[in-house]
Structure 1
Amino acid sequence: MYEDAGYNDIRKNLDYHHWNKQDSLILTTMISTFFIWGVVLSIAPLITTWPFIPKYFDEYIILSSPSGLLSGNFLLGYISDRYGRKKLFLLTVFLTSAGLLAIALIKNPYLIILSVFTAEFGLGGDETISLSYLSELIPLKYRGAVLVETSNVANVSIVVMAAIFFYLYQTLFMLINYPF
């Protein structure tokens, strides 16, 4: 009975506390990771336009994105439930960063497939950890809006990436067709 009372007090404090600086920092961190998730989601289809990627690799590159994401969702979500979210969150950031760095530096199509998978694997784990962490720590009054809007940042990021690549494509097209 005493343990239940302790849990109920903790739960009550978490659910009904006033928004504070720590909540803002947590939200900023999660928004950042969801923005990066949107960037990575848009990278796989864009990689297929790179000149050194043979066309027969397109399906594999595009398939590596959702397969990495789902694998990270399942495996890292399970591990975070067993061993804790904070430590695993750092691992997801490392995996995502390593995958993105490899995508930027490598020109081997096989390694790019592995790099896209690795970046998405990290973000798949990050997604489950972030949403769980937010639902556990954000005040009840704001929880629903924070969860929905934070996850929608990935969609905003995809639009930003599309606009950047559209602008770059238009600029490159103009330079090729209308040289100075």
Structure 2
Amino acid sequence: MDTSKVIKFDDVPLSKFHVKMTGITFAAHFTDGFSLGVIGIALTVITPQMGLSPFWQGLIGSSALLGLFLGSLILGWVSDYYGRKKIFMFNFVLIAIATALQFFVQTPEQLFILRIIIGIGLGGDYSVGHTMLAEFLPRKHRGAILGSFSVIWTFGYVLASFVGMFLHSTLGDSWRWLLVSAFPLALFVLIYRMGSPESPRWLLRQGRTEEAMAVVKKYLGDNVVLDDEKTEQQMGTFSDLFSKKLITRTLFNCIFFMCLVIPYFAIYTFLPDILKIMGLAENFTTNMLLNALLILGALLGIWWTIKFTRRGFLINSFIFLSIALFTLGMLPDSSKMLMVITFAAFTLVMSAVSNLVGVFPAESFPTDVRSSGVGLATAASRLGAAVGTFLLPMSIANLGMTYTLLWLTGTLVVGTLVSIAWAPETKSLTLSEASSINKAG
């Protein structure tokens, strides 16, 4: 090796290998968005066919999120012990099989179980997919690419609306075809993940230095070195996430993530019903316009992730979202145009700042517990989202729209306060430097 041309692992230029790893991880996130997006549309057909009560609507609507909680928590921890590669494949075996079986369900209970299994696979992929990609990407491009997860997820989520409208108008048993339409996506991801390498950072922390360097040389070049990671064997434990060194980062990632996704999933899972109650459906082509704003916001989020500090972007977004949702809850029914403008602005910023859920957790934890940390943050967020989605139909029915929006605003206020207190600044740092920060920047 020509030592004058030695390149640090965190500074290696983007290569075809990076593009491939990004592609198969993004495809998984697209499948996730699509799989979660279809259930809200499918429920509009399933509810009258199966006679679902608000309880069962909430239960089925939140079932994949409950599975995401379990999968993120358990499979993230497993991958820190047994490797990223195995879970990287196993996730989509679960997802593909359970997705296909949805076509044959006859009862709400069967659908609920299958949606939980799908969620377990998706949850495992959240923790391992983000971790795997973060551990390969150079720091110069890490924030923009990890932030782009939200864009890809949003495209999948929005595509579900278009597919739902098409199938609903052409097929009698449309909800079955809609739910199983995610199967080709899951199968595609599974096939193209075959042969993916193990994370060299993980191998290095297990003391398997020769294997780690073999992966680096094969996929990134002979002159690339892993010099910013500890080379001694080190096995982290799940309890390390609650140690004095990591507790602040653990709490920050769990709480900020949860406070963003609770209103996101609660509102957009039942968007048609919410807009109808607010009286916006007749004079505003809401579904398509808001979906377009979700995509535009996600794209803006990439730019804002590059342009602004991580910490500033998060805090200012939380403040804006809190004010917007509070305003939306307090506006009188006669203020239709102001409702539209406020809801549109809320949607745009919510989609944009959601990019950071793919960045902060992956940059916050050391290699030996990175998947566990990402998994725990994702699990906390999905548990919160599942509870919020489950409660929303009953909250609207019993408390009304105003009080429902106000308690959702409360979650955003909590996110604001936690971010001000604990959000670190990880921009432009190597992965090891970013994960060693102990306090807000």
User: What range describes the TM-score normalised by the shorter chain of this pair?
Assistant: 0.7 to 0.9
1:55 aligns with 2:52: yes
TM-score, normalising length: structure 1 = 0.82
Deviations 1:108-165 (A, max 9, x none): 3211111111001100110111111111001111110110102331111111111222
CA–CA distance in structure 1, aligned partners of residues 101 and 21 of structure 2: 28
Q: Which residue of 1 aligns with 2:30?
A: 35
Aligned to 1:109: 108
Query: What does 1:148-167 align with in structure 2 at a 5 Å threshold?
Result: 148-167=147-166
Matches within 5 A, 1:117-132: 117-132=116-131
Aligned 8 A contact 2:91 2:124 in 1: yes
CA drift of 1:170 comes to: 5.3
Alpha-carbon contact 1:99-1:116 (below 8 Å) kept: yes
Segments of structure 2 that go 5 or more residues without pairing to the other structure are: 1-5, 172-441
Structure 1 contact 52–107 (Cα < 8 Å) conserved:
no
Q: Measure, in 2, the Cα distance between the counterparts of 1:41 and 1:118.
A: 13
Q: Secondary structure at the match of 1:116?
A: helix
Q: Is the 8 A contact 1:77 1:129 kept in 2?
A: yes
C-alpha displacement of 1:45 = 2.0
Q: Which residue of 2 aligns with 1:139?
A: 138
1:44 to 39, 43, 46: 39
CA distance in 2, matches of 1:65, 1:102: 15
- Give the Å deviation of 1:86: 0.5
Q: Give 1:82's aligned residue.
A: 81
2:17 corresponds, among 13, 16, 22, to 22
CA distance in 2, matches of 1:141, 1:169: 44
Return the structure number with greater relative CO, CA threshold 8 A, min gap 6: 1
User: In structure 2, do the counterparts of structure 1 residues 103 and 133 end up closer, same or farther at CA, with 3 Å as the change threshold?
Assistant: same
Q: Which amino acid aligns with 2:12?
A: H
Give the letter aligned to residue 21 of structure 1. Answer: K
Aligned equivalents of 1:53 and 1:155: distance in 2?
29
Moved more, 15-24 or 49-58: 49-58
Contact kept in structure 2, 1:102 and 1:112, CA below 8 Å = no
TM norm structure 2: 0.35
- SS in structure 2 opposite 1:55? coil
**How many aligned positions are there?**
163
Indicate the residue corresponding to 1:71 in structure 2: 70
Partner residue of 2:432? Answer: none
Could you give the per-residue CA deviations for residues 67-88 of structure 1, whole angstroms, max 9, x where no partner exists?
A: 1111111111111112111001
Q: CA deviation at 1:40?
A: 1.2
Quote how far apart the aligned CAs of 1:98 are: 1.6
The structure richer in helix per residue is 1
CA contact (8 A) 2:34 2:158 kept: no
CA–CA distance in structure 2, aligned partners of residues 47 and 78 of structure 1: 33
Provide the rounded CA distance (Å) in 2 between the counterparts of 1:115 and 1:78. 23
The answer to whether the Cα contact below 8 Å between 1:40 and 1:120 also exists between their aligned partners in 2 is: no
Flag structure 1 segments of 5+ consecutive residues without an equivalent.
Answer: 1-9, 173-180
> Offset at 1:167?
3.7
Q: Percent identity?
A: 25
